[in-house]
Structure 1
Amino acid sequence: MDRNAGQKRAGAYLYPAIEPFDQRMLDVGDGHTVYVEQSGNPRGVPVVVVHGGPGGGSSPAMRRYFDPAHYRVVLFDQRGCGRSRPHASVEANTTWHLVADMERIREALGIKRWMVFGGSWGATLSLIYAITHPERTAALILRGVFLMMQRELGWFYGGGAGAFWPDLWTRFASAIPEDERDDLITAYHRRLFSGDYAEETRFARLWAGWENALATIEHDAGRGEGPSEYAHAFARLENHYFTHGGFLEHDGWILDQKVRLRDIPTVIVQGRYDMICPPRSAWDLSANWPRADLKMVPLAGHALSEPGISAELVKAMDGYRASAVAMGF
């Protein structure tokens, strides 16, 4: 990693901004349409970008981690968020619907195999996709690993992270009556799905604000919760997935299935001081996986926009440019 990464803004490491050459709404069934775009080189090595959340949505900045002359960059908004419709809907919205949507996108775009790039929940979904479709996954590039385990949810919603940010934790937890605070995910679920839009939005902003405030190591207490519409989708979808354990068969399912990933070249970029997804998950994932290269970034937190994180991700994608033939492209 660039030794000066912590002194520069993330944008200093990214490629220039580009516009998509293709944008479409793809009908994926169940009443859902998913936003899909392509940018970069139409004949380049395909890479699909899997955003976080669940419910975060993609952004133009995500196009900039890839050499546009070499990569064909596919972004999409997962069901219920971003430009996908219906907005904030949890109907027919599970991990397995999203895996199937990724396959529909790949087939619709005529892509045989692609690299899969995702962070946070995007890393979770990338791993689950690769476990399910290893033959379609040429490489994995993961950031801020989240394995959808109860220990991770307990850390972030049970007071672990709150021990480092007691002021912000108090704001998040005290919105709930004291007799419900032993299970904040369930307590927030009642309010995020109350049917009262004003109440849902109020608690959505609190939910999103707690996570957003801890995303970067250079925390700014004034960091906002984002627009109400964004927070409503983000909080409802994230809480829906967490309430159902990511719709996985059992706790620790991803680690139990790791053998299916053994032949996939993988780079894992992890912030040493990630308060949302602590490094233990990245460490456990990379253990006894010879093809996984764990990059622990000092003085970095969780966000994609952290300078050190951005520097390592761009470096990883630049490094893969010479491997296209070996990966079957």
Structure 2
Amino acid sequence: MRRDKYEKELLVAQLAVQRAAILTKRVFHEKAKGTVDKNDKSPVTIGDFGAQALIIAALQHNFPDDAIVAEEESAKLREDEKLRSTVWELVKDTRLDNPDAEALLGGPIRDADAMVELIDKGNSPGGAHGRIWAIDPIDGTKGFLRGGQYAVCLALMVDGDVKVGALGCPNLPVDDAARLTAGIGENQTDDDGHGVLFSAVLGHGATSRPLATVSLDPELGKPISMRAIDDLTQANFCESVEAGHSSHGDQAAISHRLGITAPSVRMDSQAKYGSIARGAGDIYLRLPVSATYQEKIWDHAAGDLIVREAGGQVTDVNGKRLDFSVGRTLANNKGVVAAPLAVHAKVLEAVQEVLSSKL
């Protein structure tokens, strides 16, 4: 099915994510994983800065009037000349092995100063009006650092509604039929058979294709769908590796209430969204660990659309759809419950019963 209205946006998103993913893989394999600390003390690698610069460069070239909400800002690069130089050496040499695709993205960034300026174009406050792109250059930085799952994430929102989403997952198996295993969250590499690009346009379904396949045809890819579940006891969950991101104890109680005996698969990033969208897993929960914490829109926008377009439903723990229209965070939501549409209500009921018992 053609996606004419957002065909260019989809193509640019796919290619921008692929180019950024090439940089992240170079960072990992060249062991240039120097880290700095952001204010919240979470690690951020040179790959985050480089990937964000490359994605914003592609968006600025093609959609110069669009706003951008991105995770990183360049203060550390401006303060640290060595770090800036390291990032620039990666950025200037990273390109797609397809001249036409590279030309569409605008080609190389001019110089290191232009790179720094591009990174800071991701400072939009977000909101309910206009075209806004959400970028997470490396979602799951800790997973990336340990060779586990991470994702390069990009989504377009129009008047607060997600219209286009792309997820590059370099360490997921290409095979859509490969079920999630306990070891998926660590000791993965992007050897042959790994690296997936998920994408979706609202109302037109979701697809997957090998991340290494660079094409100017946005329609390339296999349709994906969530696994039909007749018996919830045979389902499996995936959840965050970090206990600070999701309550593991509550998840175990929910599994017990639903009669699910398979251990939860723990992995980083929006790779969880992609995994359940193609039926490799079934249910993704991100349960609140704090009454005040607000999820960031870049951590969920692309994955939310891809799961819904694959036949799933995504809400918060109160049953409300995720609201991307209120700024840089999901201020109107708490937690995430993603599951096949047919069983989402039952999963949500179990979530609410477990959480309410703690009040």
TM over 0.5: no
If each structure's helix is expressed as a fraction of its own residues, which one has the higher value? 1
Bigger relative contact order, structure 1 or 2 (CA pairs below 8 A, ≥6 apart): 1
Q: TM-score, normalised by structure 1?
A: 0.29
Q: TM-score, normalised by structure 2?
A: 0.28
If each structure's strand is expressed as a fraction of its own residues, which one has the higher value? 2
